[in-house]
Amino acid sequence: MCYEFNLVIIIAYIREARAIFDLNRFEEIKNTPFTTFREHKILVVICGQGRLRAAAAVSFAKTLCEYKLIFWLNIGAAGHRNLSIGTVVQAGKIYDLETDRSWYPSTPFKKNIAAVEINTCANPIENYPKDVCYDMEASGFIELAQIDSIPEQLAVLKVITDNRSNPIRRQSINELEMSMRKKKNTVTTLVADYMAQAAVIADSIKPIILPWWLRTIKFTATQRNEVKHLINNYRVQSKEQRLPFLKISKTASTRDILNQLRQVWSGGKT
């Protein structure tokens, strides 16, 4: 039996959600600040346009999740200079044009689903100045979702609905919705794949008891949380549950010990 978790899917518009999911199978949660649908441990939250609303929807969704472990997925429309309408992509990098910040979610989907850079902007982009995807919600989504999450709990999936040949200003809402609807089977299959991967990862990152040789170290709360994140990442990346034993010097400071753990458990990344 896998460790329990929620999957939260953030989508900007109800018509996008209906194009992808059969919402008649979901229960609508009434009297909430965001239109929300639930099916078992999956929540679909309609955030509205823009990164601020996406961020607010993430904060709201956390209050509805019955499990502490949450996997996050942002699905929506995006534009690109050259990619064909209907191309499905996943975000390997998210860059916010207003705040000049970047994030790197996981890329859990099939290898034939291209990993792209997504630039989040305040207004729809019509001239596509760079060879990247453009959207309005991804950065707000990931900025809040990444709190208390490892990268494997975060993913962004977009359908290209406009490009230089068919800019967004020339398309009706019905046309944009149709571009999403045509990819319904592809997207729902990818969501199912993500759920299956989440179940495997959930077993790797369930609540952790520190190995015996670390239990007497007086880590601060912040350091202890980092140790747990290092353990989570090591188990996910290596597929090993047993942690390599480290010989800890009696005179080493907690900072030195943490640096040693970083070197061994995250391949030297600090």
Q: What is the CATH number of the domain that holds 79?
A: 3.40.50.1580
Q: Per-residue pLDDT for 177 more than 60?
A: yes
Predicted confidence at residue 5, as pLDDT, reads 94
Q: Band of the pLDDT at 270, cuts 50, 70, 90?
A: very low
Same-domain check for residues 90 and 156 = yes
Same-domain check for residues 29 and 73 = yes
Same-domain check for residues 197 and 215 = no
Same-domain check for residues 50 and 179 = yes
Q: Per-residue pLDDT for 268 more than 70?
A: no
Choice among 144-153, 162-171, 210-219, 248-257 with the minimum mean pLDDT: 210-219
Whether 117 maps to a domain, the answer reads: yes
Same-domain check for residues 188 and 223 = no
Q: Choose between 232 and 269: higher pLDDT.
A: 232
Same-domain check for residues 75 and 186 = yes
Q: What is the pLDDT of residues 230-245, one digit of tens each?
A: 888 888 888 777 788 8
- Domain range enclosing 154: 6-203
Q: Quote the mean pLDDT of the chain.
A: 90
The secondary structure of the chain as a DSSP string is -PPP-EEEEEES-HHHHHHHS-GGGSEEEPS-SS-EEEETTEEEEE--SSHHHHHHHHHHHHHH-SSS-EEEEEEEEEEESSSPTT-EEEEEEEEETTTTEEE-----S-TTSEEEEEEE-SS--SS--SSSEEESSHHHHHHHHTTT--GGGEEEEEEEEEESSS-GGG--HHHHHHHHHTTHHHHHHHHHHHHHHHHHHHHHSS--PPPGGGTTS---HHHHHHHHHHHHHHHHHH--SSPPP-PPPTT--HHHHHHHHHHHHSTT--
Whether 149 maps to a domain, the answer reads: yes
Same-domain check for residues 237 and 251 = yes
Q: Which of 184, 203, 222 is the last residue of a domain?
A: 203
How many domains does the chain contain in total?
2
Whether 144 maps to a domain, the answer reads: yes
Work out the average pLDDT over 110-115.
Answer: 88
Whether 116 maps to a domain, the answer reads: yes
Q: Per-residue pLDDT for 1 more than 50?
A: no
